[in-house]
Amino acid sequence: MTTAARLENQLEFSASKTTAETALVPVLLPIALDQTYDYLPPPGGPPPPGAFVTVPFGNQTRIGLVWYALSGDGEKKKVDPKKLKAINEILDIPPLPLLSLRFAEWIAKYTLSPLGMVARMLMSAREVFEPSKPRFGVTIVPGAPLPPRMTPARQRALEIAADRLIRPKATLARAAECTTGVIDGLVTAGCLVEAAIPEKRCPLPDPAYQVVEFTDEQQQAVDALYSAADAGNFSVTLLDGVTGSGKTEVYFEAVARTLARGRQVLIMLPEIALTSQFLSRFEARFGCAPVEWHSAQTGSERGRLWKAAASGEARVIVGARSALFLPYPDLGLIVIDEEHDGGFKQDDRVNYQARDMAVVRARLGDCPVVLASATPSIESHVNARTGKYRHLVLPGRFSGTKLPEITAIDLRTEQPDKGRWLSPRLVDAMAETLARGQQSLLFLNRRGYAPLTLCRACGHRLECPQCTAWLVEHRFKNRLNCHHCGFSLPIPDKCQKCGEEGTMTACGPGVERVAEEVSERFPEARIALLSSDLIPSLTEMRQVIKQIESGDTDIIIGTQLVAKGHHFPNLNLVGIVDGDLGLAQGADPRAGERTFQLLHQVTGRAGREAIRGRAFIQTHLPEHPVMAAILSGDRDAFIDQEIKIRQAGMLPPYGRLAALIVSAKDKETAELIARDVAHRAPPAELIQVLGPAEAPIAVIRGRYRWRILVKAPREIDLQNYLRAWLSRVPPLKGDNRLAVDIDPDSFL
């Protein structure tokens, strides 16, 4: 539907609703409730659905959304007619598209979250609701006589202002190397005048800005995407190709085609992959940067971009998962890059998988979706194999360089020296690489210096007082931190238990410890340590990445921050310090898949340009199926096997999973509630209720946790079953909690 048609629809809707029996206006508030409240319309008549209004609520005034139950089954709180209150005002913000409302209803129903909490995600930029204050600057008054008293500073300022731009006073002062007093003086003298700075506009990407020549294989994929984009209706395409095969280049064509049709595009990336590299490639292809949407933006910027998305001025939006909830009036394509990435699952308040919800959004809005990955999720593979998704494969790297040669280092026979973490073979390879002037990358998915600290005298281990977790030493900050709750204390110099001094010992490596070993072994090398706790912001992260790209670094040591989306042209060697990390997560059906994806992604960083790269994986389990698949490069065999396991175990996508997580302040209460909840499960032949069991991380932030896992065949409406079940559970008292996680990703 075009924007105009949609608008018409909305207007018609509001016109037909002005009859007496529908005179009340249902308003949804962004709080944890599933119902709307009725209000009397404001004097000017009832607002259209999706309009933002302010209403009295209790003794407060709140912003709500006009929300007629679009799918016909929303609940409504009946209000005593004598107590009815009127809507205060209709805010001067474009109403949300009906599609956004329908999407929110869908998510609420699917995730069993209160509709109000999903609506909250549609209202994520608070600044939208604040009146925009125009910013003022100064500009030259053409033809004004020069002030009687000219100084060199005044001269400089006037020369800069001669271009007639409107600049903030401070900006002009800085450029002219003078004080803002000088600028004020020029205003008084009538040479400069104050003026409102025009609002920033989103640049228009040009689909024809750069013409790319594709290889035959790429061209086939491009043609398939053209036809999907031109058809314009719902379809899902899995773009499956090794890193460096040109997936980005190829899906940019679908973006171009959609832009040419005048529709909006959303590109979703894991937050960490939003690198300057991606943005500059976009710019090279389309002549300007895309609109970015992520957590690092300032509030006022978010407000502006939200409105630009709503008006359609923002043509291409690149963002992490929350970008899915912007009020697009005419979304014509969604691309999800690194579709397998765990970062698309949100585990907070509304538990949703943004990749899956993007597919839902595309279905509701009838537009195509492209999922891109070098290591697609098993779910997407299955959908591709059954023909639900179109499968496009880019088999080789564009540069022609072969994938790196991957070798296992069996830690049982090739041990590092005592107190060291790098085996001799890996160290030799690093020395060679350094001598050739190329880069090495060491990967260890563990922040900090050491994962465990214990007392050599009495064996006491330092544990978080609020969580089931060891405290992790962060030597650079000289503290011990809990990675679950953020609890932190200075590294003690004596044992808290036996009182011995100098006996506290770090056990095992984190990236900081590996960095220490590397700087001892290669004192002349330039080292970069990439770990989320050491790099405070996306901006700084981009700087570090830039430095690495330009070759200012010899050895990179990093956590999974380095695994995603970067292209380091001079990187030739990858060493995986602990290949087994991640395989041991017993309850997690995706542990094997995840480890495979991560190892594949990281080893794939080596040798992306001219020379074939090398990768070494240090492991105790070289014969483990995941390791064997990585070493042999036989991805398809691995996927076949994973699919068989999923099928046999009725695991996703062959079965549906949901987790119920009970948490309480004390252990007995948590267990009691969990047992009671499990006991109330309605009998159902095909549904398995597993547990309750104490969660693997039994305590987080001082809250005791128990889990119930529910397993059902695909055909069963699991949500319906859960709703029936939950309606049998009496309301929990105090701050005892029961959370529902549909399609859980974490089993901890």
Site of interaction with ligand ADP (CB under 6 A): 212-214, 218, 241, 243-249, 398
Residue 487 touching Zn ion (CB under 5 A)? yes
Closer to ligand ADP at the Cβ: 210 or 720? Answer: 210
Q: Which of these, 596, 581, 583, lies nearest to 508 by C-alpha position?
A: 581
Euclidean distance between CA atoms 46 and 645, whole angstroms: 56
**Among ligand ADP, Zn ion, none, partner that 28 touches (CB below 5 to 8 angstroms by kind):** none
- The one of ligand ADP, Zn ion, none whose footprint includes residue 711, by CB under 5 to 8 A per kind, is none
Nearer to ligand ADP, 404 or 622 (CB): 404
Q: Are 322 and 343 in contact (CB under 8 A)?
A: no
Regarding 66 and contact with Zn ion (CB under 5 A), the answer is no
- Identify the DSSP state of 426: H
Nearer residue to Zn ion within complex by CB, 427 or 467 = 467
User: Is 464 a binder of Zn ion (CB under 5 A)?
Assistant: yes
Bridge partner list, 35: 75
| Residue 601, binding choice from ligand ADP, Zn ion, none, Cβ under 5 to 8 Å by partner class | none
Hey, is 546 helix, strand or coil?
helix
Three-state secondary-structure class, residue 378:
helix
CB of residue 26 vs ligand ADP: minimum separation in angstroms? 46
CB atoms within 10 A of CB 601: 22
Q: Which does 487 bind (CB under 5 to 8 A by kind): ligand ADP, Zn ion, none?
A: Zn ion
**Longest alpha-carbon distance in the chain:** 94
Cβ closest to Zn ion, residue 296 vs residue 485:
485
Distance linking the first and last C-alpha atoms of the chain:
43
The nearer residue to Zn ion, 6 or 701, going by C-beta atoms, is: 701
Is residue 566 within 8 Å of residue 277, measured between CB atoms? yes
Distance CA 327, CA 245 (A): 33
**Coil vs helix vs strand at 355:** helix
Residue 482 binds to Zn ion (criterion: CB under 5 A)? yes
Q: How many CB atoms lie under 10 A from the CB of residue 9?
A: 15
Is there a contact between 491 and 479 (Cβ–Cβ < 8 Å)? yes
Rounded to a whole number of angstroms, the minimum distance from the CB of residue 403 to ligand ADP is: 12
Min dist CB 483 to Zn ion, Å, is 8
- Calculate Rg over the CA atoms of the chain: 29
Nearer to ligand ADP, 395 or 523 (CB): 395
Q: Least distance in Å: CB of 232 to ligand ADP?
A: 24
247's contact among ligand ADP, Zn ion, none, with CB below 5 to 8 A by partner kind, is ligand ADP
- By beta-carbon proximity to ligand ADP, the closer residue of 102 and 281 is 281
Between residues 218 and 669, which has the closer beta carbon with respect to ligand ADP? 218
| Sequential DSSP letters for 465-479 | SSSSSBPEEETTTTE
Residue 246 binds: one of ligand ADP, Zn ion, none (C-beta under 5 to 8 A by kind)? ligand ADP
CA-nearest of 50, 62, 65, 54 to 100 is: 50
> Which range touches Zn ion (CB under 5 A), out of 64-72, 307-315, 474-482, 723-731?
474-482
Q: Which is nearer to ligand ADP, 247 or 656 (CB)?
A: 247
Residue 464 site contact among Zn ion, ligand ADP, none (CB < 5 to 8 Å, cut-off depends on kind): Zn ion
Half-sphere exposure of 420 (CA within 13 A, CB side): 16
Stretch that binds Zn ion, among 160-168, 289-297, 461-469, 635-643 (CB under 5 A): 461-469
DSSP single-letter state for residue 227: H
Residue 482 binds which entry of Zn ion, ligand ADP, none, with Cβ cut-offs from 5 to 8 Å by kind?
Zn ion
Q: What angle do CA 562, 568, 573 make, to 5 degrees?
A: 80
- Comparing CB distances to ligand ADP, the nearer of 387 and 400 is 400
Residue 466 found at the interface with Zn ion (CB under 5 A): yes
Q: Which is nearer to ligand ADP, 393 or 527 (CB)?
A: 393
Residue 132's Cβ-side half-sphere holds a number of Cα atoms within 13 Å equal to 21
Spacing of C-alpha 338 from chain mean position: 11
* Interface residue with Zn ion, options 467, 495, 506, 556 (CB under 5 A): 467
In a 3-state reduction of DSSP, which class is residue 168? Answer: coil
The residue whose two tokens read 């159902």 is: 684
CB of 284 to ligand ADP, least distance (A): 8
484 sits near Zn ion (criterion: CB under 5 A)? yes
CB contact set of 685 (below 8 Å; sequence gap of 6+): none
> Which residue sits closest to ligand ADP, CB atoms considered?
246
The site partner of 248 among ligand ADP, Zn ion, none (C-beta below 5 to 8 Å per kind) is: ligand ADP
Judged by CB under 5 A, the residue of 69, 224, 485, 729 near Zn ion is 485
Note whether 323 and 317 are within 8 A (CB). Answer: yes
Minimum CB–partner distance for residue 280 and ligand ADP (Å): 11
DSSP symbols for 120-146: HHHT--GGGGSPPPPPEEEEE-TTPPP
CB of 241 to ligand ADP, least distance (A): 5
The one of ligand ADP, Zn ion, none whose footprint includes residue 245, by CB under 5 to 8 A per kind, is ligand ADP
Question: Which stretch, 210-218, 349-357, 467-475, 614-622, contacts Zn ion (CB under 5 A)?
Answer: 467-475
CA separation (Å) from 393 to 57, 339, 359, 560, 665?
A: 55, 15, 20, 26, 51
Nearer to ligand ADP, 40 or 393 (CB): 393
The amino acid at residue 718 is L
Q: Which residues bind Zn ion (CB under 5 A)?
A: 464, 466-467, 482, 484-485, 487
